Copies of this chain bind each other. A is one copy, B any other.
């Protein structure tokens, strides 16, 4: 079975304390996953911390939580056994996506979550069509959070987080996520429609890496001013030879290419 994503309010409860999830989440557990009373299943919070959840009663749907460290190794194994294995030391992927119109952005967020983006940051760019009022931004944010939660539950991804949309300039100057831990380079890439540099993806991703930041533009791409801003902030331009990709395809295409190279980084090396 796949993992269940917990709200912050739920994970703040004392261990063993009961709570009732909202009706559509109860529906997911009882009707989609077909769990019945007494079932123990895996859960996680938005930071990837893991929990064992017990279905205490079906009507009303009542759950209780235990933190992973409070359970025996055997219980943890039984509960998490069928979840996909995460690479042991996959560097975190931070993904900036210029905000796209309506369903296109929904698709990008869903696919980027599946493709293992650890942080998704929607950014407003010069050529982003939608410009929100703060009230609309909050509504969008709620919608995207639901999409991420569903994608995490289906795919077993861990720890994808969404932040409120902000301007590209602000994100570059003051990145809203924790600094990567450990050794290795911070790789920063922005996808570009035209070849403006000779760097290869294998070149960018060879050697020890502590984090990967990848930025995908809106329809029409980043503006020349934005490209300049990226270059000055140490981002490398990345051009995929071949077809022109729509913005919503570029996102999953780029993330898949990055994951495929990094997942096999012990298998290849650069030709000297």
Contacts and interface: CB of A to CB of B under 8 A. Distances in A.
Given A84-B242, A155-B244, A249-B114, A270 B271 contact: no
Interface residues of A, number: 44
A158 B12 CA distance: 54
Interface string A231-258: 0000000001111111001001110110
A178 interface: no
A102 to B, nearest CB: 15
Contact of A156 (B155, B243, B270, B271): B243
Nearest to A113: B243
A190 to B, nearest CB: 16
A157 B246 CA distance: 12
Nearest to A252: B252
A111 interface: yes
Contacts of A267: 200, 202-203, 270-271
5 contacts: A2-B244, A114-B244, A201-B264, A268-B268, A269-B269
3 tightest A-B contacts by CB?
A: A257-B260, A256-B256, A155-B243
